[in-house]
Amino acid sequence: MAGHDGRLAVYDKTDLVAEHEVEPLIRGLRGHEGCAVVVGERHVYRVDLDPPRMIRDQLGSGPIAGAWMGESLTVIVHEDGTGLWFDAELAVRAAFRIPAGARPVGADRWGKTVVLDYPGGTRALARDGRVVYTTEAGALAISPDGEHLAMTGPRGITVVPVIDVLPPDEVPPGEGAS
């Protein structure tokens, strides 16, 4: 449990097991097998449960604008547009750079595709660190396998294969719009 006082409390059912000092602003928190990953405004933390200990890492530079906490990977985007995918061990799996101002709001489980939300309502799909699709008409969501994109529009929710919205130079040979 993280409080606005910059303290993270670790409980075993109702018993307080450990307390750690983190940051007052938490961008994300996700439990994993035997640990939790916490993303603050400036650092990321791995909190081990047994034995209780905390590792703090900066992972990149500058303030973190947003985080998306996935099942196996976490995505963070710094205010300057630099982004990182990392695992529960805080090992960086991929790095990317996108236009500044984005917050990650969804991603596939492989560390390849991320959905971004920009101030002003623009949504973007970035693949391999490159923005490949943008829209101002509603929400975007990516399936965990990275194969399908859900979007809202005048006719409600539409689900399409991601390949259908990719620019021609992003479409793998032999595949095409359905």
Kindly give the confidence (pLDDT) of every residue in the chain, 178 residues in length, as a single tens digit, with 9 standing for 90 and above: 777 788 888 887 898 888 999 999 999 999 999 999 999 999 999 999 888 899 999 988 889 999 999 999 999 999 999 999 999 999 999 999 988 999 999 999 988 899 999 998 899 999 988 889 999 888 899 999 999 999 988 889 999 999 998 887 776 666 555 4
pLDDT, tens digit, for every residue of 100-152? 999 999 999 988 899 999 998 899 999 988 889 999 888 899 999 999 999 98
8 A C-beta contact, residue 150 and residue 134: no
- Partnered with residue 123 across adjacent β-strands are 117, 135
8 A C-beta contact, residue 172 and residue 132: no
**At 168, phi and psi to the nearest 5?**
-55, -35
Q: How many CA atoms lie within 13 A of 38 on its CB side?
A: 27
Give the Cα separation of 167 and 178 in Å (integer): 14
CA 120-122-126 angle, 5° bins: 140
8 A C-beta contact, residue 128 and residue 135: no
Average pLDDT score, the chain: 89
